[in-house]
Amino acid sequence: KRDAFMQAFNAVNTHFQSIFAELSDGDGHLALEDPENPFAAGLTLIAHPRGKKVRRLESMSGGEKSLTALSFIFALQRYRPSPFYAFDEVDMFLDGSNVERLARMLRHEADHAQFLVVSLRRPMIERSDRVIGVTLARAGHSQVLGVQLQQVEAVASQAS
Amino acid sequence: KRDAFMQAFNAVNTHFQSIFAELSDGDGHLALEDPENPFAAGLTLIAHPRGKKVRRLESMSGGEKSLTALSFIFALQRYRPSPFYAFDEVDMFLDGSNVERLARMLRHEADHAQFLVVSLRRPMIERSDRVIGVTLARAGHSQVLGVQLQQVEAVASQAS
Amino acid sequence: MHLKCLEIERFKSFGPYTRIPLLEGFTVVSGPNGSGKSNIIDALLFALGLSTSRGMRAEKLSDLIHQGVTHGEASVTATFHLDEGGDLAVCRRLRVNGNNSTSTYYLDGAVCTLSDLHERLGTHHIYPEGYNVVLQGDVTGIITMPSRERREIIDELA
Amino acid sequence: MHLKCLEIERFKSFGPYTRIPLLEGFTVVSGPNGSGKSNIIDALLFALGLSTSRGMRAEKLSDLIHQGVTHGEASVTATFHLDEGGDLAVCRRLRVNGNNSTSTYYLDGAVCTLSDLHERLGTHHIYPEGYNVVLQGDVTGIITMPSRERREIIDELA
Ligand SMILES: Nc1ncnc2c1ncn2[C@@H]1O[C@H](COP(=O)(O)OP(=O)(O)OP(=O)(O)O)[C@@H](O)[C@H]1O
Ligand SMILES: Nc1ncnc2c1ncn2[C@@H]1O[C@H](COP(=O)(O)OP(=O)(O)OP(=O)(O)O)[C@@H](O)[C@H]1O
Ligand SMILES: [Mg+2]
Ligand SMILES: [Mg+2]
């Protein structure tokens, strides 16, 4: 049981290190609170965004927390892939250049799994394979439109 | 005591109705759970965004909740103004056109009070009187720059 | 394996019948506030039996039926395309009648229990507490959760 | 009355001395993730004695001092321009020495207690639970709070 856990932990940790470096240009890794007996304690994430000293996880900014959390989710996916991913506005705390980085990462991950990402941000719309538009029809119910590529620009310009 | 409360409640309610109509194009009002004895129960917000039937507050979407909450905050401000307001990314759930609406409202409210608004969204930056840029200096500490107007465009294009 | 189609009937803000074809790769869902984007993710979680009513922003099951009617029916069908060929259709139908409500699950058209469904989805690496779905506002949840809970995510994988 | 200047010394991500002049009207603070935008709002709340360490994302007071040093000092001064003319300078200095920490408040340069400060700010309609400050991620807090708490906001105003 401990061996199986350590194997999973080490694999996810390796993925986390490389993904965090790519998403936030810093370095980070996973750490067990009690490496001798992992089941007796928890797991923490040690992450220093670009050039910063190590800080407590809670004192990170909204954007830094989002990139750290997303790196962990992608690391889990690399170890144990799911057939599909559904993310609802995971970019809400990110500044323009971090949305770009995330969109590039999603573009790359989407070669191995299906990603359904709700987003209002332009860089996400621009890097996606396709956009599904949702509006409220006059009768008060949701309507789904397959947005053609040339309409993507119109949707992107409504996003901000 | 009840009279003073009812006077405040009615005034804030009137403000809420007009502000909510302006911010979200719908109609809404405040309601006391126990109008006979207000102190025995709570206060709820009844809000129908444009053209929708009344729903429970919890089932509203992220953007609808934000506009409803902001309408309430502005209504409190109109009744009992504070000298300054500090809002940290209150536009994070809003789509492009709602950010525009909020930015216009802030522009208008800022004639009566000082607003300090942290935002990553372009419409906010474009409608503000001035932008303060914050970056991380090489030595690892935050640096504040007074952004000149022509630089506002450069900051806005980094936002999204 | 990927999700190839979602069919929504009277679930939350969706009307009598809405069909959403889906492709592999990177799809963005966009649109104005309140248009129904998060409700699509809720519909998917509902069909796969992965949701709790808290996660659905609903107090009682009738809140999930279009216009919140207390006598009516809603259903969502999620159709997957399997790598080995063929499809897998997962459907959940909710009937509400005053205070009574019943949910029925179907796998490829045949009635099944929720645990049958979870078992079948587990063989395709779709788990109720899987981190493949992140609800709106939850993105930093991994950071704010207790460290033991975070470790348990790895336990599940091992 | 408006806030005309914020001076930050070794508070959180700010170095030895940072001066932020502020004007009336609508000012936007922007910049990359992690640059220190929210820390500016934290600095303001810190100086006015309106904050709890939970709201500051800090476990202990030494987390508020630049680089988290356990022997050092941080201070923030908020200077207001008053409608009737003249200024009001509010300052808070935090000294940490191992496990001991002391906070000292100053009103126009003279030491005062936290309750003196709250009373003086109250005359200018600046209250600890005032809804004039919304922290990052809290915007929908008004919607999710219990309805009695929401009513108490009006009680305060009456
Ligand atoms: N049972 C129901 N019947 C009809 N409408 C409903 C029902 N339940 C929820 N809704 C409506 O669905 C809307 C919310 O949809 P949803 O949360 O999917 O929006 P969204 O597109 O994600 O918006 P945002 O961008 O603000 O997050 C609300 O306006 C809500 O009133
Ligand atoms: N005592 C401290 N000394 C040095 N740096 C600190 C201290 N406390 C917090 N920080 C750093 O400040 C940064 C967070 O700043 P802040 O939350 O203001 O960012 P932000 O500009 O609001 O970013 P976002 O756009 O992501 O919300 C973190 O990287 C954190 O490590
Ligand atoms: Mg949503
Ligand atoms: Mg911030």
Please return the burial class of D16, using the count of CB atoms within 10 Å of its CB with bins 0-12, 13-18 and 19+: exposed
Q: Is A61 on the interface with C (CB under 8 A)?
A: no
What is the rounded CA–CA span in Å between residue D141 and residue D149?
11
Closest of C150, C138, C124, C113 to residue C55, by C-alpha? C138
Res A157: pLDDT: 66
Task: Report pLDDT for B142.
Answer: 95
Contact A99 B158 (CB under 8 A): no
CA separation for the pair D23, C104 (Å, rounded): 61
Do A33 and C149 meet the contact criterion of CB atoms below 8 Å apart?
no
Residues of D in contact with A49 (CB under 8 A): 33-34
Task: Give yes or no for residue B12 having a pLDDT over 80.
Answer: yes
**Higher-scoring residue by pLDDT: D89, A138:** D89
Q: What is the whole-number distance in angstroms between the Cα of residue C105 and the centre of ligand 4?
A: 43
For residue D14, give the DSSP letter: B
Mean pLDDT of B96-125: 94
Q: Measure the CA–CA gap between D82 and C82, rounded to whole angstroms.
A: 70
Using a 6 Å cutoff on CB, does residue B59 contact ligand 1? yes
Asked whether A135 and D72 are in contact (CB, 8 A), the reply is no
Nearest CA to ligand 1 atom 5: C13
Mutate to test the pocket of ligand 2, among D20, D38, D67 (most ligand atoms within 8 A of CB): D38
Q: Do D131 and B73 lie within an 8 Å CB cutoff? A: yes
Cβ count near D111 (within 10 Å): 11
Mean pLDDT of D128-134: 84
Average pLDDT of the residues in C75-97? 96
Q: Going by CA atoms, what residue is nearest to atom 7 of ligand 2?
A: D12
CB B114 within 8 A of CB D25: yes
Which range has the worst mean pLDDT, A89-93, B50-54, D39-43?
Answer: B50-54
Q: Give strand pairing partners of A86.
A: A116, C133
Contact C58 B95 (CB under 8 A): no
Instruction: Classify residue C54 as exposed, middle or buried by CB count within 10 Å of its CB (0-12, 13-18, 19+).
Output: exposed
pLDDT of residue C53: 59
Q: Given this model, what pLDDT does residue D127 score?
A: 85
Instruction: Decide which of A50 and B102 is more confident.
Output: B102
Distant-in-sequence, close-in-space partners of A145: CB < 8 Å, separation ≥ 6? A132, A133, A134, A135
Residue A69: DSSP 8-state: H
Q: Report the pLDDT averaged over residues D23-47.
A: 96
| Ligand 3 centroid distance, CA of C40 (Å) | 9
Q: Determine the pLDDT at residue D121.
A: 94
pLDDT of B150 strictly over 70: no
Query: Can you tell me the mean pLDDT for B24-36?
Result: 92
Cα dihedral angle (D114, D116, D117, D122), rounded to 10 degrees? 120
Whether residues A97 and B158 touch (CB distance < 8 A) is answered with: yes
Output the average pLDDT for chain C.
92
Q: For residue C140, give both structure tokens.
A: 């930093």
Q: What is the pLDDT of residue D108?
A: 97
| Mean local confidence (pLDDT), C28-48 | 96
Which residues in chain A have Cβ-Cβ distances shorter than 8 Å to C5? none
Region C68-97: what's the mean pLDDT?
A: 95
> Which residue ranges have their beta carbon within 6 Å of ligand 2?
A 52, 55, 59-64, 93, 95; B 134; D 12-13, 31, 33-39, 63-68, 136
Backbone angles phi, psi at D8, to 5 degrees: -120, 125
> Is the minimum distance from the CB of C113 to ligand 1 under 6 angstroms?
no
* Residues C34 and A118 sit within 8 Å (Cβ to Cβ): no
Q: Which has the higher per-residue pLDDT, A130 or B152?
A: A130
For chain B, positions 88-147, list CB contacts with chain A under 8 A. Answer: 89, 92-97, 99, 120-123, 136, 138, 140
Residue B52 Cβ contacting ligand 1 at under 6 Å: yes
Contact indicator for B124, B103 with CB cutoff of 8 Å: yes
Is any ligand 1 atom within 6 A of the Cβ of residue C36?
A: yes
> Looking at residues D43-57, what average pLDDT do you find?
85
Residue D135 · residue D57 · CB < 8 Å:
no
Task: Give the pLDDT confidence score for residue B152 in this predicted structure.
Answer: 61
Mean predicted confidence (pLDDT) in D69-80: 95
Mutate to test the interface with B, among D29, D41, D144 (most CBs of B within 10 A): D29
Q: Confirm if C97 and C60 have CB atoms less than 8 A apart.
A: no
Q: How far apart are CA B31 and CA B26, in angstroms?
A: 16
**Contact criterion met (CB below 8 Å) for B16 and B71:** yes
